[in-house]
Amino acid sequence: MKLDMFDFHLPEELIAQVPLEDREASRLMVLDKETGKLQHDVFSHITEYIKPGDCLVLNDTKVLPARLYGSKEGTGAKIEVLLLKQDHDDVWETLVKPAKRIKEGSTIVFGDGKLSAVCTGVLEHGGRILEFKYEGIFYEILEQLGEMPLPPYIKEQLDDQDRYQTVYARERGSAAAPTAGLHFTEDF
């Protein structure tokens, strides 16, 4: 199978830029696996398609404002960091753009020095291990300086960051919104 089989044109005007105010009014596409028939409905009707014995898995992690913009100490080069996974303490596995500018020992400064990170490792896939330095509580600083990591096709940032959280999010840790779960409401 070739990867280009999955390429298709999607007009930009058809890409939602903000979630619906009424979460469960989102559209739902249903595929009958036996017949191959497609049907269009609304998410609030999803329980009509769940049968006894089906398993519904919910990801209860909260999305972190995991995208940080900073500059490389010494050169001032603009650097973008996406936190992927906390390794231990203040050490994180990250993606960095442009990665080639951040070598082991490089320091990135965020928010006029409120937060900084030293690259302590370069990963095979191009990621970086960063150790963060700061005064105070890391997650509070992240709330101040970070942005929600949105897919590249969404151009608008929402003022209400909770719109990118599921109603059942409990544990910190996601680097991306579990978008399928954004349609559930407290009542659902």
pLDDT one-digit tens code per residue, 35-88: 999 999 999 999 999 999 999 998 898 999 999 999 999 999 999 999 999 999
145 or 155: which leads in pLDDT: 145
- Which pLDDT band holds residue 3 (cuts at 50, 70, 90)? confident
Average pLDDT, the chain: 90
Superfamily of domain 67-145: QueA-like (2.40.10.240)
pLDDT mean over 19-34: 90
* DSSP H or E segment with residue 173: strand 171-174
What local confidence, expressed as pLDDT, does residue 100 receive? 92
Q: In whole angstroms, how large is the CA radius of gyration of the chain?
A: 20
10 or 136: which leads in pLDDT: 136
3-state secondary structure of 92: strand
What local confidence, expressed as pLDDT, does residue 174 receive? 85
Whether residue 129 contacts residue 92, with contact meaning beta carbons closer than 8 Å, is answered with yes
What local confidence, expressed as pLDDT, does residue 163 receive? 81
pTM of the predicted model as reported, rounded to 2 decimal places: 0.80
Whose structure tokens read 């960063």? 130
Report DSSP state, residue 65: -
**What whole-number distance in Å separates Cα of residue 102 and Cα of residue 23?**
40
Domain limits, CATH 2.40.10.240, in the chain: 67-145
What local confidence, expressed as pLDDT, does residue 8 receive? 82
For the cut 80, the answer to whether the pLDDT of residue 152 exceeds it is no
